[in-house]
Amino acid sequence: MKTNQEVMDLAEQSIIHTYNRFPIAMDHGQGVYLYDVEGKKYLDFAAGIAVMALGYNVPEYKQALKDQIEKVIHVSNLYYTEPMARAASRLAEASGLKKVFFTNSGTEAIEGSIKLARKYAYLKDKGSTDHEIIAMNHSFHGRSIGALSVTGNTHYQEAFRPLIDKIVFAQFNDLEDVKAKINDKTCAILFETIQGEGGIYPADPAFVKGIRQICDEKDILLILDEVQCGMGRSGQMFAYQHYGIKPDIMACAKALGCGVPIGAFVAGEKTMDSLTAGDHGSTYGGNPLAAAAANAVFDIYEQKHVLDNVNDVAPYLSAKLEELKAKYPCIVEHRGMGLMQGLEFDRPVGPIVSRAIENGLLIISAGEKIIRFVPPLVITKEHVDEMYAVLDGVLAHV
Digit-coded pLDDT (tens) for 257-273: 999 999 999 999 999 99
Distance of alpha carbon 93 from the chain centroid: 19
User: Regarding beta strands 194-195 and 201-202, do their DSSP bridges make them parallel or antiparallel, or are they unpaired?
Assistant: antiparallel
Query: Quick one: average pLDDT of 330-350?
Result: 98
The pLDDT, as a whole number, for residue 251 is 98
Q: Given pLDDT bands bounded at 50, 70 and 90, which one contains residue 2?
A: confident
> Is residue 396 within 8 Å of 365, Cβ to Cβ?
no
Residues 315-323 have a mean pLDDT of 98
Q: Over the stretch 98-147, which tens digit does the pLDDT of each residue have?
A: 999 999 999 999 999 999 999 999 999 988 899 999 999 999 999 999 99
* Whole-number Å distance between alpha carbons of 313 and 382: 10
The order of strands in the sheet holding 331-337 is 331-337, 340-345, 370-373, 364-365
Tell me the pTM: 0.97
Mind listing the pLDDT tens digit for each residue in 131-140? 999 999 999 9
- Indicate whether 22 pLDDT > 80: yes
Q: Partners of 41 in the beta sheet?
A: 35
Helix (H, G, I), strand (E, B) or coil at 122: helix
Identify any residues that bridge with 132 across adjacent strands, giving them in sequence order. 186
Ordered DSSP codes for 48-72? HHHT-TT-B--HHHHHHHHHHHHH-
Q: What is the DSSP letter of 240?
A: G
- The number of angstroms, rounded, from the C-alpha of 310 to the middle of its chain's C-alpha atoms is 16
Given a cut of 80, whether residue 1 has pLDDT beyond it is no
% the chain with pLDDT above 90: 98
Please check whether residue 320 is in contact with residue 341, taking contact to mean a CB–CB distance below 8 angstroms: no
